[in-house]
Amino acid sequence: MNKLALLAKDKFISRKSYKSISKFIKDSKIFEKSPFTRVCSAWSIPNSEDFQTNIVYNFQHPEFKKPLFYNKDAQGEFLKESPSSKTSYPAGILSASDIYVSFPYPVHRWKGKVFVEALRGSSKFVSEPRYLIALETIPFAKKTKMPEGVLLAMPSLNNYYHWLVEILPRLRMVEENERLRDLPLIMPKNKLAKYVYDSLKITGYLDKVQFLEDGVYQFEKLHIPTLFSPPCSPSPLAIEWLRSHVLTETITKGKRRIYVSRRDSAERYVSNEVEVEELLSEFGFETICPGNYSLEEQVKIFQEAEMIIGSHGAAFANLVFTPSESVFIELFRKSRGNPVYRKLSAIRNLKYGVFVCQEDNAGQYVNINKLRELVEKAIKYV
């Protein structure tokens, strides 16, 4: 396990090996058998002197309609309309005394329990080597004692979408709670993407964050805001908070046409991208690679867009800032149909379309003629 910890920490193992190790841990149910790790729902634990839950909101899954435009390859899940759901998702504040937190990978332990709500609602993270190792070594690590605070960090905080749309907006619950407003926000100091710092600065919270070095911390009391909604099901409350804290001006109609490239990614890239760019340039599209831009620059680009096309990816978290009635066409591989941006488009009242591509190794191949037909149809909605 020590060798595995070193490999996982320093990323000396390949992506394929990492996935194999993760699968082994998950299949062996190590995290379920361990005396230190008991993943459970915090809402199921009775309130006591050293543990309280406070449900602030209940998320209702919204309906979303079939895409306005799509190619003939879009079948099944790509065109399926989501039925209304009466199942609600509780969102609120978890408060626990004498709780341990490990950084840089944010996991916690309270009386042998791990709250699934603090893992973004999924126990999968404790089957990943880096999180499992961090969790299982908490009892044996040297602890630094800390006073009261609010845990802002969660797994996947270095994913642009998960941080921006799911994790950061939980500050809304902190703002609405008079007791929590003046407490420090707890974050790891290391392994943070630059946009995490930038977003905290833009929203006015950077000076309120206490960045902690790698290690294990024992808090007298810690408050953990949960997600507003299940992962990959955007919350209108979170989106509203983001727009009010990030946008400095309101643009009701964009003018730019944007093609979002994933050429810097190892997956879901467009294998015949030169052809796609040449086609889209005929319709006035410019190409951007989001990784080349700061958070503020990305916000501005999407805020000025009247039409956006690109492969499914975290950069489309920026649709939060796109003017209503703008057109968005999402490119998918046949085996991938995550509806998160379809849901986000519905909340923002964007005109949504889907284009299903042929798989090409880790990327996807775009039929140029079919794309031309779809773009010509979509432009009529601008």
Q: DSSP per residue over 262-303, as a string?
A: -TTSSSS-BTTHHHHHHHHHTTTEEEE-GGGS-HHHHHHHHH
Cβ pair 203, 245 in contact under 8 A: yes
Domain presence at residue 299: yes
> Final residue of a domain: which of 200, 235, 270?
235
pLDDT of residue 23: 63
Question: Closest by alpha carbon to 106, among 114, 97, 96, 98?
Answer: 114
Number of separate domains in the chain: 2
> Final residue of a domain: which of 206, 235, 264?
235
- 3-class DSSP state of 67: coil
Select the highest-mean-pLDDT range: 15-24, 122-131, 275-284: 275-284
List the structure tokens of 89. Answer: 């998702």
> Final residue of a domain: which of 235, 265, 287?
235
Does 49 share its domain with 184? yes
Domain that holds residue 31: 2-65+85-235
Q: What share of the chain is helix, strand, coil (3-state, %, to 5)?
A: 35, 25, 35
Domain presence at residue 79: no
Q: How many distinct helices (H) and strands (E) make up the chain?
A: 12, 17
- Note the pLDDT tens digit of each residue in 123-152: 888 888 899 889 989 999 999 999 999 999
Q: How far apart are CA 190 and CA 269, in angstroms?
A: 29
Left, alpha or beta for 19 (phi > 0: left; psi -120 to 50: alpha)?
alpha
Average pLDDT, the chain: 89
Straight-line distance from the first to the last Cα atom of the chain, in angstroms, rounded to the nearest whole number:
56
Cβ pair 298, 318 in contact under 8 A: yes
Domain presence at residue 73: no
Does 190 share its domain with 262? no
pLDDT of residue 337: 74
Half-sphere exposure of 326 (CA within 13 A, CB side): 30
Does 158 share its domain with 193? yes
